């Protein structure tokens, strides 16, 4: 039946619409009424599945944002046997793998971090958790690369990972504020160069043959 009750599907619809609205307007400016208008549902549905607006926001982080980053970045990076190559490839191709409105509207994770981390402890924890996974994943990639002799031994891979993630978010942020996908590409290319600069001469040379 078409109009049958499907609570978890309803819940997902709300989550998706909330993600979209938050992505466009930020969390605080996100309107419950707008979210519901985009789903065709009403407040009864929303407040049945989520006790407060904050809980809805946290669920968006855990179930939507984290999931997307997981599939797009974390998982490939963890599972690759040549993590440095994979990191470079992701950085080089991310501008084509992501819908263009993700440059115009910014990284959903970064947007929320900037807005909510100083204001709400719960948000800060969840967002910091996702960011921490990102950082640890890059860290692991660099560490493994160091063991494989692709990353120079003297590189502080923890600091480098922190910087990669920071610069990454910075590139999206500036490109967003310029409303320019082109600036994003240029910027990420420089980040690509930074990571290459961490590599041993041998590994860097061999890369071009392999690629």
Partner DNA sequence: ACACATCCATACCGGTTGGTATGTAATGCG
Partner DNA sequence: CGCATTACATACCAACCGGTATGGATGTGT
Which residues of the shown chain bind DNA in the complex (CB under 7 A)?
1, 4-7, 10-11, 30-34, 40-45, 47-49, 51-54
Rounded Cα distance, 39 and 16, in Å? 9
- Closest approach, Cβ 33 to DNA, in A, equals 4
- Closest approach, Cβ 45 to DNA, in A, equals 3
Site string for a second copy, 82-121 (x = CB under 8 A): ----------------------xxx---xx-xxx-xxx--
Number of residues that bind a second copy (CB under 8 A): 46
Rounded Cα distance, 91 and 195, in Å? 10
The candidate with the shortest Cα–Cα distance to 191, out of 154, 173, 165, is: 165
Site string for a second copy, 4-43 (x = CB under 8 A): --------------------xxx-xx--------------
Rounded Cα distance, 123 and 62, in Å? 10
Establish if 124 lies at the interface with a second copy (CB under 8 A): yes
- Closest approach, Cβ 114 to DNA, in A, equals 19
In this complex, which beta carbon is closest to a second copy, that of residue 49 or of residue 102? 102
48 binds, among DNA, a second copy, none (CB under 5 to 8 A by kind): DNA
> Of 56-64, 140-148, 165-173, 201-209, which segment contacts a second copy by CB under 8 A?
165-173
Rounded Cα distance, 169 and 190, in Å? 13
Residue with tokens 């407060």: 52
Residues found near a second copy in the complex (CB under 8 A) = 24-26, 28-29, 104-106, 110-111, 113-115, 117-119, 124, 127-128, 131, 159-160, 162-163, 165-171, 173-179, 183, 186-187, 189-191, 194, 197
């Amino acid at each position: 039946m078409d109009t049958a009750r499907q609570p978890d599907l309803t819940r997902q619809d709300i989550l998706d619409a909330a993600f979209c609205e938050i992505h466009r307007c930020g969390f605080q400016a996100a309107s419950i009424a707008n979210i519901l208008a985009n789903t065709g549902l009403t407040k009864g549905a929303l407040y049945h599945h989520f006790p407060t607006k904050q809980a809805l926001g946290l669920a968006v982080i855990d179930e939507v944002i984290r999931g997307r980053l997981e599939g797009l970045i974390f998982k490939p990076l963890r599972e690759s046997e040549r993590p440095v190559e994979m990191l470079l490839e992701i950085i080089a191709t991310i501008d084509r793998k992501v819908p263009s409105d993700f440059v115009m509207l910014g990284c959903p994770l970064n947007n929320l971090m900037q807005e909510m981390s100083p204001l709400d402890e719960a948000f800060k924890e969840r967002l910091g958790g996702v960011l921490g996974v990102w950082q640890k994943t890059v860290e692991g990639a660099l560490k493994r690369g160091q063991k494989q002799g692709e990353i120079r031994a003297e590189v502080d891979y923890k600091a480098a990972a922190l910087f990669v993630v920071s610069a990454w978010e910075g590139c999206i942020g500036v490109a967003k504020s310029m409303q320019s996908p082109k600036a994003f590409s240029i910027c990420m290319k420089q980040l690509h160069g930074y990571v290459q600069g961490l590599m041993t001469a041998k590994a860097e040379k061999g890369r071009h043959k392999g690629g």
